[in-house]
Amino acid sequence: MDFNDTPPEAAFRAEVRAFIEDECPPGIKRRGFRAAFGGGGWDDIHMSREEYFATNGGWVKKLAQHGWIAPAWPKEYGGAGMTVMEQFIFSQEMSLSGAPRGGNFGIGTGWAGPTIILHGTEEQRLKYLPGIVQGDEVWCQGFSEPGAGSDLAAVQTRAIKDGDDYVVNGQKIWTSGAHVAQYMILLARSDPDAPKHKGISYFIVDMKSPGIEVRPLVNMANNHDFNEVFFDNVRVPAKNMIGEENRGWYVGTTTLDFERSGIATSISHSLMVKDLATFVRENKGQGFISESKTVKNEIADRMIEAGVEEMLSYQVISMQNRGLVPNKESSIAKLFSSELDVRIAGTAMRVLGPYGQLMTGSEHAAASGRVGSTYLYATTSTVGGGTSEIQRNIIASRGLGMPRA
């Protein structure tokens, strides 16, 4: 395989790079070690919406003017109509520079919007997509419930038809960003008597609707990212349903496909490892860096693994570029990437030894105490978007043809 850009791809890469260089204020860039171990990243979920737009708003507007909040969306819906390969190059350049992507925390552009483009009516597209491509609306995803995670089709939240509305009752959990979101994509059971995959409908819910209560869940890294969301007789207009009644499961699986085929992390991982190596070099002999050879070997292993991850991303991209739909390939890339998250954070902890446990606020904390919280946070990537065990099941059954049970 030739990994070099074709001349048009090289020209596009230069255009994106120059745009970022000219337009993105250096102070808002977060890359490599700083992004990963900064508890932040491209779309900093820990900032309030107001704080986010106060610091990043000007840049987000410039991205929106180019259609670069949702670069692969068709131009008529505010995207830039990029090809899969152009979008990949765009993502690579954004990752390399550390420029923030936009204001909507990923779910709107990443999987709610693409699902609406694919399964929504024209009226729904015109109503909901403009807010997403301007980067100023936050979306959240109400799929998981206390009794329905890996077995998502077991959702019990009810949506019962009443006139022009559905009345929703029940509970969602682990809902990232629900505390700042304007809209939710919701899976709810509209026919309790049908087989479980055939009685679910898919809705867009205005988070300001009466009867919605959002309760914070603070994770072990002390971040408030996700929430419990309770529905008490919440009226959702029937025109907010995406796709057909009781066919929502099939719309939901499209959303999950979009969610799992996210591909930007390989660049971030190699930047993290490079920045970790720089950190070790710059702080050698300071007393808080491990001088062990094993740790150096570990950093080298992480660098090799980031390279492997990049190849797995290329496999997914090259399939999408040929019009194929990656399936087990997305699961392989997702599994490798999220487990690598955990390994990189573990290596960073071993670099710092006992100092790694000192968190932000401690006067003796190295790297501003960010490594410890990154270590605690890293495990979540092996759960969100489908756990590692579920990805292994998919690879075994769909990739290797092994029996399901």
Ligand X SMILES: Cc1cc2nc3c(=O)[nH]c(=O)nc-3n(C[C@H](O)[C@H](O)[C@H](O)COP(=O)(O)OP(=O)(O)OC[C@H]3O[C@@H](n4cnc5c(N)ncnc54)[C@H](O)[C@@H]3O)c2cc1C
Residue number with the shortest CB distance to ligand X?
149
Q: Is-contact 269 306, C-beta < 8 A?
A: yes
Supply the minimum distance, in Å, between the C-beta of residue 383 and ligand X.
Answer: 4
174 binds ligand X, rule: CB under 6 A: yes
Q: Is-contact 181 207, C-beta < 8 A?
A: yes
CB closer to ligand X, 67 vs 113? 113
Contact window for ligand X (CB under 6 A) among 93-101, 141-149, 254-262, 366-374:
141-149
- How many other C-beta atoms lie within 10 A of the C-beta of residue 380? 19
Contact window for ligand X (CB under 6 A) among 9-17, 93-101, 143-151, 154-162:
143-151
Question: Among 38, 57, 130, 149, which residue interacts with ligand X (rule: CB under 6 A)?
Answer: 149
175 binds ligand X, rule: CB under 6 A: yes
176 binds ligand X, rule: CB under 6 A: yes
Question: What is the C-alpha separation between 226 and 219, in angstroms, rounded?
Answer: 8
74 binds ligand X, rule: CB under 6 A: no
**Coil vs helix vs strand at 296:** helix
Inter-CA distances, 75 with 20, 71, 81, 374, Å: 21, 9, 5, 37
CB closer to ligand X, 20 vs 189? 189
Assigned token pair, 148:
């329905």
Q: Interaction with ligand X in 374-393: which residues (CB under 6 A)? A: 380, 383-384, 386-387, 389-390, 393
What are the residues facing 242 on neighbouring strands? 202
Residue with tokens 């609306």: 137
Supply the minimum distance, in Å, between the C-beta of residue 181 and ligand X.
Answer: 10
Question: What is the C-alpha separation between 221 and 38, in angstroms, rounded?
Answer: 12
Q: Interaction with ligand X in 210-249: which residues (CB under 6 A)? A: 226
Q: Is-contact 104 141, C-beta < 8 A?
A: no
Contacts (Cβ under 8 Å, ≥6 apart) of 300:
none
CB closer to ligand X, 252 vs 372? 252
Name the DSSP letter for residue 201.
E
Question: What is the C-alpha separation between 206 and 183, in angstroms, rounded?
Answer: 5
CB closer to ligand X, 105 vs 279? 105
331 binds ligand X, rule: CB under 6 A: no
Question: Among 91, 92, 104, 144, which residue interacts with ligand X (rule: CB under 6 A)?
Answer: 144
Q: Which residues in this chain contact ligand X in the complex, by CB under 6 A?
A: 140-141, 143-144, 149-150, 174-176, 226, 380, 383-384, 386-387, 389-390, 393
